[in-house]
Structure 1
């Protein structure tokens, strides 16, 4: 399924490719062996980038956090604490799930590493009221349905992650799967058809020719 350009944060750039900033995100899960629910937070509508959109907690890697996998893990844990007030997760406990790089044609670009983490016992996420204004626990299917019905605003990468997660019956199942598989970076491409722009993923028709 191809995505579309026009979503918040998806404005096209000039001919020059903007370097992708390093970023990290946590897909916080609960449900153990029985179910699979995940945490989404709503970015404040006042934000210049993806305002009002529901996303997994995350953000850019700070310079003092270093480089490489360790820096991404530290940043992911920090962002979860800042945006959802969830602590008690050690960076080394995170399970890497995916790596998405914003298309080269887009103006604001991130190289985002997504990690899975099971919510600590007794964790009660809370919004900061500034960067994030709402949150909720969803099954992947319920989040996708809410997005289709317009109850929450979702962007293409979040939708694709929710679709991937929807095939798993439980938190334990998706963590076991991710632990056993190597992550391959995903670099979508933007294809223009007249004045319409579409986002293609690796393996989709037209991707290699773009």
Structure 2
């Protein structure tokens, strides 16, 4: 059994929920991406700290967000495993699987300025930090344009093979806003760089998984169980190639939900059995 400290704000949410006999909110389907890059003697992962005004504000997480209706658009440019293959892998209908994969690629562009797309299968677009790309990214964030439209205008296809499914987490029932989140891992494409572009984040950093865990366990930074567990899992591998190879054997369809345990001495902990 694995335990995690529960932030005070979540304890308050849980207490009110159970005291009033609350009804769990329906989780919103979401996607998140662990962007990885090689580093001396290992690799680093990109994390962002959610702004205080956001859900889970002040918490470090990976780029990601909710699936948008446009993410299931059928005319999306696409290369790599097809929607039916993704459906089998994630145990979802093909259109739902497309939405989850598309949301992962869209969110990592919106929140990190990294585009997992290319003009042909096996190719990846280069630097996307110019003013024209930034205008396109802002239009996507504002929902003035859809991700499929952005790719079509640039004659690009989503590189679904650059995303490797890792796990699936569902927010505990007491949270007023809940997410059913599919976690992916992806290598930062050559020629691209992350940028602190998201208005939903107030700090970003590349960090080794073991260092991030150490800082979280020391109370220097705040992370929720899905982030900490995922960092612990990827930290067991020596390089990015090993992480991506391991992803092929992962169960990315069965949902994981932390539960609360209240001890006799008053301690409250998240528990994973």
Q: Shorter-chain-normalised TM-score: which range?
A: 0.7 to 0.9
Q: Which residue of 2 is the match for residue 207 of structure 1?
A: none
Per-residue displacement from partner, 1:144-185 (whole Å, max 9, x unpaired)?
122233432222221111111111111100110111333232
Matched, 1:62 2:132: no
| Offset, 1:63 | 2.0
Matched, 1:156 2:225: yes
The separation in 1 between residues aligned to 2:9 and 2:102, in whole angstroms, is 27
Q: Is the 8 A contact 1:32 1:172 kept in 2?
A: no
Matched, 1:126 2:186: no
Q: Which residue of 1 is the match for residue 112 of structure 2?
A: 84
**Scaled by the length of structure 1, what TM-score is found?**
0.85
Structure 1 gaps, min length 5: 205-210
Q: Which residue of 1 is the match for residue 38 of structure 2?
A: 31
The separation in 1 between residues aligned to 2:268 and 2:41, in whole angstroms, is 41
Matched, 1:145 2:214: yes
The separation in 2 between residues aligned to 1:7 and 1:196, in whole angstroms, is 11
The separation in 2 between residues aligned to 1:129 and 1:61, in whole angstroms, is 17
Q: Which residue of 1 is the match for residue 270 of structure 2?
A: 199
Matched, 1:176 2:245: yes
Per-residue displacement from partner, 1:38-90 (whole Å, max 9, x unpaired)?
1111211232x111211100011112223522111111111111111111343
Bigger CA radius of gyration = 2
The separation in 2 between residues aligned to 1:19 and 1:116, in whole angstroms, is 26
Structure with the bigger percentage of helix: 2
Let me know the Cα RMSD of the aligned residues. 2.3
**Scaled by the length of structure 2, what TM-score is found?**
0.67
Q: Is the 8 A contact 2:166 2:185 kept in 1?
A: yes
| Offset, 1:33 | 10
